[in-house]
């Protein structure tokens, strides 16, 4: 079995802050760094925080972590050659169980190992909608990881700063389709971007988020 750590770990590996200038075209490494960032935040969640609301209006903290874990499980299965139709409803519902931190770690490891085992991301995966480039899927999920890292940090009241490398990548990825994200039902419409904002502020605005603005929500029962 291959190692689940990022190949060629750089300054963003396992850190809450990084440095812009790294090669964002190294998609497996960038995805791995984004997954590690989210994993660090998952480990910061206190037992009484799983029911807290998040900037994702329909999800509490447990729902958000479950969503990301399921996406990474899907990624592992699709990269292994399983078509979406064969996976079916296997990953529906709560995938975190009684130990959400350990369950997320396992899902992250599966995704990392699947990417490392893939000879090239120029291969094709079979989604519900049909064949698609594996590279596009990994890129979109990496963007999602970065944005949801901010969501999770905001919800649990920890440092909301994101590594510049990951912000730059996510901003590059989402810029072409940010105005279409609202149709998924998971994103609010893009917000106006003020003159001269930092990259993180711009990324948040494109995905319907605004740093420093209180979000409304009610504590719900943890999914534990």
CATH of the domain at 50: 1.20.120.450
Tokens found for residue 78: 């699709």
First to last CA, the chain: 31
Kindly state whether residue 212 falls inside one of the protein's structural domains: no
The reported pLDDT for the residue numbered 224 is 42
Distance between CA atoms of residues 97 and 102, nearest Å: 9
Kindly state whether residue 173 falls inside one of the protein's structural domains: no
Kindly state whether residue 90 falls inside one of the protein's structural domains: yes
- Domains in the chain, number: 1
Residue from 129, 110, 98, 29 nearest 69 by CA: 110
Residues 6+ apart with CB under 8 A from 154: 54, 55, 160, 215
The reported pLDDT for the residue numbered 181 is 66
| β-pair type (124-127, 130-133) | antiparallel
| pLDDT by position in tens, the chain (length 224) | 333 455 433 333 333 333 333 334 589 999 999 999 999 999 999 999 999 999 988 899 999 999 999 999 989 989 988 887 877 777 777 778 899 999 999 999 999 999 998 878 888 888 888 888 999 999 999 999 999 999 999 999 999 999 999 999 999 998 877 666 665 556 666 677 766 668 899 899 888 887 766 665 555 654 44
Distance between CA atoms of residues 62 and 96, nearest Å: 8
Q: Record the pTM.
A: 0.82
The parent domain of residue 135 ranges over 27-163
The reported pLDDT for the residue numbered 11 is 32
Contact 201, 193 (CB under 8 A): yes
Distance between CA atoms of residues 64 and 62, nearest Å: 5
Tokens found for residue 65: 């972590």
Kindly state whether residue 191 falls inside one of the protein's structural domains: no
Q: Which residue has the tokens 């078509």?
A: 83
Kindly state whether residue 114 falls inside one of the protein's structural domains: yes
3-state SS, residue 26? coil
Kindly state whether residue 224 falls inside one of the protein's structural domains: no
Kindly state whether residue 200 falls inside one of the protein's structural domains: no
Kindly state whether residue 181 falls inside one of the protein's structural domains: no
Tokens found for residue 40: 């660090």
The reported pLDDT for the residue numbered 149 is 98
The reported pLDDT for the residue numbered 19 is 33
């Amino acid at each position: 079995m291959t190692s689940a750590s990022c190949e060629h770990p750089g300054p963003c590996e396992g850190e809450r802050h990084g440095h812009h200038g790294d090669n964002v075209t190294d998609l497996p490494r960038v995805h791995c760094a984004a997954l590690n960032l989210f994993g660090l935040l998952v480990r910061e969640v206190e037992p009484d925080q799983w029911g807290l609301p998040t900037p994702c209006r329909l999800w509490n903290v447990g729902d958000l972590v479950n969503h990301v874990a399921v996406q990474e499980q899907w990624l592992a299965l699709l990269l292994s050659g399983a078509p979406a139709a064969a996976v079916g409803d296997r990953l529906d519902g709560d995938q975190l169980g009684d130990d959400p931190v350990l369950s997320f770690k396992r899902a992250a490891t599966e995704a990392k190992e699947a990417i490392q085992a893939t000879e090239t991301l120029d291969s094709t995966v079979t989604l519900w909608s049909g064949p698609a480039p594996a590279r596009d899927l990994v890129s979109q999920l990496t963007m999602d990881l970065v944005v949801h890292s901010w969501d999770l940090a905001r919800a649990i009241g920890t440092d909301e700063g994101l590594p510049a490398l990951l912000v730059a990548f996510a901003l590059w990825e989402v810029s072409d389709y940010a105005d279409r994200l609202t149709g998924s039902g998971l994103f609010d419409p893009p917000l106006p971007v003020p003159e001269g904002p930092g990259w993180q502020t711009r990324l948040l605005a494109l995905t319907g988020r605004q740093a420093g603005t209180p979000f409304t929500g009610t504590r719900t029962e943890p999914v534990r």
